[in-house]
Amino acid sequence: MKAVFVDTSAIYALLVAEDAEHEPARSILVSLGATDVALVSSSFVLHETVALLQARIGMAAVRLFQEKVFPVLDMEWITSDIYERGLAALLAASNRHVSLTDWTSFVIMRSRGIQTAFAFDEHFEEQGFELLSPPS
C-alpha cells in the first residue's frame, strides 16, 4: 500500500475554511479517498496541530481534529531515535526556518520510504519529496 505523509499545514487547511489552502486541501483529500493509500503522520505533527488549532481557532477545532482526522492517521510516535536524528539534521542544516517537527517528519518519511507529502510547506520539496496537488 502506498503511503502519504500528512503535515500540519494540510490538516490545518482542511479544518479551517478561512485558510488560503482550504479548497485545494479538500480537493486533495477527496482524491486520496478514492485511492488505497495510508495517511501517515507523527506525534510531533499531532502536537503542533493541536497547539495551532487551540491558539488560533479554539477548542471546537481541536475536538473536530480529534474526532474526525486523528482516527484515520497511521500515527508514528516520536521515539528518542527519531528525535535525535531530527535534531541532528536541524543542527547540521542550521536553518532556523525549518522546524524540528519538519526534520522528524523527513526522518520518518525516509525511514518508511514515503516519497509524497500532503502538505503546503515548501520545505518538503526542498528535501526532495513530492507535494500532492489538487486534481485538475
The domain in which residue 123 lies consists of: 2-131
Block residue for cell numbers 507535494: 131
Kindly report the backbone phi and psi dihedral angles of residue 36, in degrees, each rounded to the nearest multiple of 5, phi listed first: -95, 85
What CATH number should be reported for the domain holding residue 62?
A: 3.40.50.1010
Question: Which strand ranges, in their side-by-side order, compose the sheet holding 74-76?
Answer: 74-76, 37-42, 2-6, 116-118, 130-131
- Report residue 10 as a C-alpha cell: 494540510
What is the mean predicted confidence (pLDDT) over 46-75? 97
Residues in the chain: 136
Evaluate whether residue 136 is within a structural domain: no
Evaluate whether residue 75 is within a structural domain: yes
Evaluate whether residue 57 is within a structural domain: yes
Evaluate whether residue 44 is within a structural domain: yes
Q: Tell me, what's the pLDDT at 34?
A: 80
Q: Is the pLDDT of residue 136 over 80?
A: no
Evaluate whether residue 106 is within a structural domain: yes
Would you call 83 helix, strand, or coil by DSSP? helix
Evaluate whether residue 113 is within a structural domain: yes
Q: Degrees (nearest 5) of the Cα angle 106, 132, 38?
A: 70
Q: Tell me, what's the pLDDT at 33?
A: 86
Task: Give the CB-side neighbour count of residue 128, counting CA atoms within 13 A.
Answer: 7
Whole-model pTM: value is 0.96
Category of 121 on φ-ψ map: left (φ > 0), alpha (ψ -120 to 50) or beta:
beta
Would you call 59 helix, strand, or coil by DSSP? helix
Domains in the chain, number? 1
Q: What is the mean pLDDT of the chain?
A: 96
Evaluate whether residue 99 is within a structural domain: yes
